[in-house]
Amino acid sequence: MLSLRPLLLATPLLIGSSVGIAEEKNFAIHIPAQPLPAALESLAEQTGLKPFLVNEVAKGKISHPVNGRYSAHQALTILLQGTGLSYSFSSMDSVVIKAPEQEGDASTLPAVKVIGKAQYDADDPYNVNYNRPNASTATKTDLPIMQTPVSIQVVPKSVMNDQQSIRFEDAVINNVSGIQRSYGTADMYESFIVRGFSSGENNYRNGFRRSMGKFDVSNMEQIEVLKGPAAVLYGRLEPGGMINYVTKKALDVPYYSLQQQFGSYSEFRTSVDATGPLDRDKTLLYRFNGAFDTGNSYRDIVEHERIFIAPKLTWRPSDRFEANFELEKRHDNYMDDYGVPVSGNRPISGRRTLFTGDPAFRPSQDNTLVYADWSFKFNDDWAIRHKFQWDETDIVFGGPGPNDRVNGDGRTLGRWVITGTANRRSYGTSLDLSGKFDTFGMKHNMLVGGDWFFFNQDMPDNMFASSDWGDPINSNFDINNPRYDTIDLAAVRSIAPNWFWRSRDDWYGVYFQDQITLWDKLHIMGGGRYDMAGYGGFGDTSWEATQAGFAMQHENKFTPRVGILYQPWEWLSVYGNYVESFGSNNGRNALTGGTFQPQTAEQYEIGFKTEFFDQRLSTSLAYYHLTKDKLLTADLSTPDPQDQIAIGEARSQGIEVDIKGRITDDFSLVSTYAYTDARVTKDAGGLEGKRLLNVPEHQASLWGTYQFTEQFKVGLGGVVVGKREGDSGNSFQLPGYARLDAMAAYVISLGKTRLTAQVNVYNLLDKEYFTGSTSWLPTANVGAPLSALGSLKLEY
C-alpha cells in the first residue's frame, strides 16, 4: 500500500473505484479518532480501494472515529465530521477533500451529508449489538429467527464481553430464560437444566454433541439455545432443549486482540485472538484463540489452572467452496468441590468459604478435539455440507465427597473418597443437502441429511472408600474445625479398585425438513427423523467382568416435528409447534439383565416474537407443555424394593419471556423471565406430585448498558431466582436470592489500535446465595460473594 504522507501536497486524485461501488458497497470499517491523513490511509486499506490523495488542508485535522459497516461515501462523511472539510465524488470517479471555499468562490462545492447507521456482520469482532436476527441451531439452515416456529435464543459475544463472562455457565444462565445449572460430580463438567429437565451432561459445539465437558469461552462467537425437544435434527438428547455454542470464524480482514484480566481471589486470565488472510488472494485464512487462566477461589483451598489453544484454518478457493479445519487442546487442573453440606432441610448458611474436600487430591482433564467441515454451493439455491468431529477427554479423579447430611451432632460429616481414571471419546459426522425451490406458488427451504454418532466411556480402575464403611482412611470431617491433609493417602492407595463402568452410544439417523412459505407471511415447517440407535451402560465387580458383561440395546424410532408461523407484519410473528423426542438411556434392568426402554418426550408450544428498530431489538414470549415419559420408578410387581420399571412420567409447563437488543443507539439490554411448573406426574415410589430438583417456579434477569460517549460505557443488572427443591424427594430446599452486578468501560484510541479498560463488579450487595444442589448428594454449591474482575484489552 502506497503511503499517503509523502503525497499530501499533491492534487486530489481518483479513488480507483466507480462512484456506484463507493456509494453502494458496505465494508466493515474500524478507525479510531486520529490524525486525518492516517485515518484516510486506514480507510483506503480497509475498503480495498486505491489510496486517497489529499491536499495539505488535512494537516492538523483529527478524524471522527468510524466503527461499523458503511460504504466509503458514508465513512468519509463520518471521518470529516467536525473538521470543517468537505468532499465530493466527481464525474472522473475521484474524491476531492478540501477546505471550505471563501464566499463568492464559484468553485465552492455544496456540503454533502449522508446519514448511515452502523451495520455489522454477525462475526465482526467489533459488533456491539445484543440481538442476532439469524441462528442455525433450530433448523441447520441460516433461517431468520422471526421465520422459525420454535423458541431459539442467542447470546452473542458482545453480551459476554460486556459482562466479562469467563465461564460458559454464566453466559448461558444470566441471559436466557428458564435455565439453571445442573450439578453432577462436583464441577467436573458443565450441565444445565432447560425447561425443568437436565441436559444430561451434554452440550453442543457447532451442532455436534460434546459429552461431560468443560468449555472455554475464548473461541466462542455466540451461544444458541434451542428450547424444547431437538432430537429431530440431532439425535438422542434430553427434551428440555439443547445448548449449542458457535465458534469464531477465520476472517479475511486482519484482526488482533490481547486481553489481560485480573480479579478477586488471584484470578489471572490472559487470552489472545488473531485472524486474517495468509495469502494475497485471501483464499487461505486463519484464526488462533488461546487462553491461560489461573486463580484461587472464595472457597477455602479451591484453585484452578487452565491452558487452552484453538487454531483454525479456512480454505476458500472460490465463492462456492469452503473447507475448515479446527483443533482444540485443553488442560485443566482443579479441585472437586461439592459445595456446603445440608443440615436439616437447608444448606448450612454463613459458611460459603467452607471446603469439605482435601488439597492432597488433584483432579485433572486433558481434552483434544478435531473438527473439519467442507461445503459446496451448486448454485445460489442448492448446497451440500459435510462435517466431522473427534473429541476425547482423559480424566483423573480424586477427592472426597460427603456421605450424607451433617450428623446429629451438628458438626461432623462422613466423607467418601474416590480415585481413578476415565476415558471419554466420541466421533460424529453428518452430511446435509439443502436447497430452495418453488412449487405452485409455495417457496420451499428443504433439508435432507444423515448423521452418525459414537460415544464410549471407560472407567476401569475407580476406587471408593470411606471411614463410615470400615476403611482405615480417616475420612471424617468437622465443619466447625476444618482440617486438611488428614486423609491417609497410603491407605487409600492400598485399596484395590472397586467400582467399574462402561457406557456406549452408537446411532445412525436420517432426517428431512421442509420449510414452506406461502404469501410471504405464512411459514410451515415439517420434518422427521428415523433413528437406529444402540446404547448401553454396565458395571460389575471387576473391569474384566464389566467388559464381559457389557451389552448393547438397539432400538429404532421415528420422531416428527411440525410448526407453523404467521408473520402479518415484519415486526410480528405468531407461532406454534408440536415436537417429539427420542431420549436418553435409562440404564440396565438388574432383574432381566436387559436395558430399559429409552425415555421419550412430546411438547406443545405457542408463542409470538417481535423485532423493532430495524432488527436491533427482539422479544419473544412462549407457552409450552412438555411431558417426559418412561422414567424409572419402583416396580411394585416384585418383592425386591430395588427393582425398577420405566413407567414414570414428569411434566413441565410454563411461560418464558426474552428481550434483547438496543432500545436506542446508546442503550442496550437483555431481560428474561420464566415461570416453570415442573413436577413428577407418575411414580410408584412416592415422588408423584414432587417438584423437579433445582427448578425455581420464578426466575428473572435484567442487564443493561448505556454508552455515554464514544469512549465511556456503564452497565448494571441482576438476577432473581425463586426457591428451589434440593433433591427429588423435596426433603430440603435452596432459598431464593437476588444478585446485582455492574460494569464500566473506557476506550482509548492509540493510533490504529484501541485499548479498552473495563471493570465488572459482581454481587454488589454481597448476598449469600446457592447456585444449585448436587443431583445425588445433599449438598449445595455456593455463589460468589462481592468480587471484581478487571480487564485491559488491546485490539488492532
The CA distance from 579 to 602, in Å, is 6
Tell the CATH superfamily of the 255-795 domain.
Answer: TonB-dependent receptor, beta-barrel domain (2.40.170.20)
The CA distance from 194 to 181, in Å, is 9
Are residues 254 and 280 in contact, defined by beta-carbon separation less than 8 angstroms?
no
The CA distance from 522 to 518, in Å, is 5
What is the number of residues in the chain? 796
Whole-number Cα distances in Å, 221 to 89, 245, 469, 530: 38, 8, 49, 31
Q: Domain segments of the chain: what residues?
A: 5-98, 255-795
pLDDT number for residue 273: 98
pLDDT tens-digit map of 603-648: 999 999 999 988 899 999 999 999 998 776 666 656 655 556 666 8
> What does the DSSP 8-state code read for residue 136?
S
The CA distance from 226 to 557, in Å, is 22
Coil, helix or strand at residue 408: coil
* Under-70 pLDDT residues of the chain: 1-25, 48-57, 88-96, 98, 100-119, 584-596, 632-647
pLDDT number for residue 734: 97
Coil, helix or strand at residue 203: strand
Q: Grid coordinates representing 602?
A: 412430546
Beta strand ranges found along 360-498 (DSSP E): 364-377, 382-402, 412-413, 415-439, 442-466, 477-478
Q: Grid coordinates representing 490?
A: 497410603
Q: Find the helix packing angle between 36-47 and 72-79, rounded to 10°.
A: 170
The CA distance from 428 to 236, in Å, is 13
Angle value at C-alpha 180, between 191 and 330, nearest 5 degrees: 30
pLDDT tens-digit map of 83-108: 778 776 554 345 667 676 544 444 44
Are residues 681 and 651 in contact, defined by beta-carbon separation less than 8 angstroms?
yes
CB 421: neighbour CB atoms within 10 A? 16
The CA distance from 49 to 16, in Å, is 6
Are residues 713 and 744 in contact, defined by beta-carbon separation less than 8 angstroms?
yes
pTM of the model: 0.85
pLDDT number for residue 101: 55
Report H helices in 176-298.
231-234
The region that residue 720 occupies, defined by phi over 0 for left and psi between -120 and 50 for alpha, beta otherwise, is: beta
Q: Grid coordinates representing 713?
A: 460505557
CA 56, distance to chain mean position in Å, is: 50
Are residues 293 and 305 in contact, defined by beta-carbon separation less than 8 angstroms?
yes
CA-wise closest residue to 582 among 233, 341, 306:
233
The CA distance from 179 to 175, in Å, is 9
The CA distance from 245 to 243, in Å, is 7
The CA distance from 604 to 583, in Å, is 17
pLDDT number for residue 194: 95
CA-wise closest residue to 769 among 727, 719, 728:
719
Whole-number Cα distances in Å, 553 to 535, 540, 595: 5, 18, 6
The CA distance from 129 to 146, in Å, is 17
The CA distance from 183 to 65, in Å, is 46
**Largest pairwise CA distance in the chain:** 107
pLDDT number for residue 776: 87
Q: Grid coordinates representing 469?
A: 464403611
The CA distance from 560 to 517, in Å, is 19
Report H helices in 279-363.
none
The single-letter code of the amino acid at 242 is: M
Are residues 458 and 423 in contact, defined by beta-carbon separation less than 8 angstroms?
yes
DSSP 709-775: SSSEEEEEEEEEE--EESSTT--SEEPPEEEEEEEEEEEEEETTEEEEEEEEEE-TT----EEEEBT
CATH (residue range 5-98)? 3.55.50.30
Side by side, which strands form the sheet with 241-247?
152-156, 220-227, 241-247, 202-205, 208-211
Whole-number Cα distances in Å, 384 to 621, 644, 705: 34, 46, 41
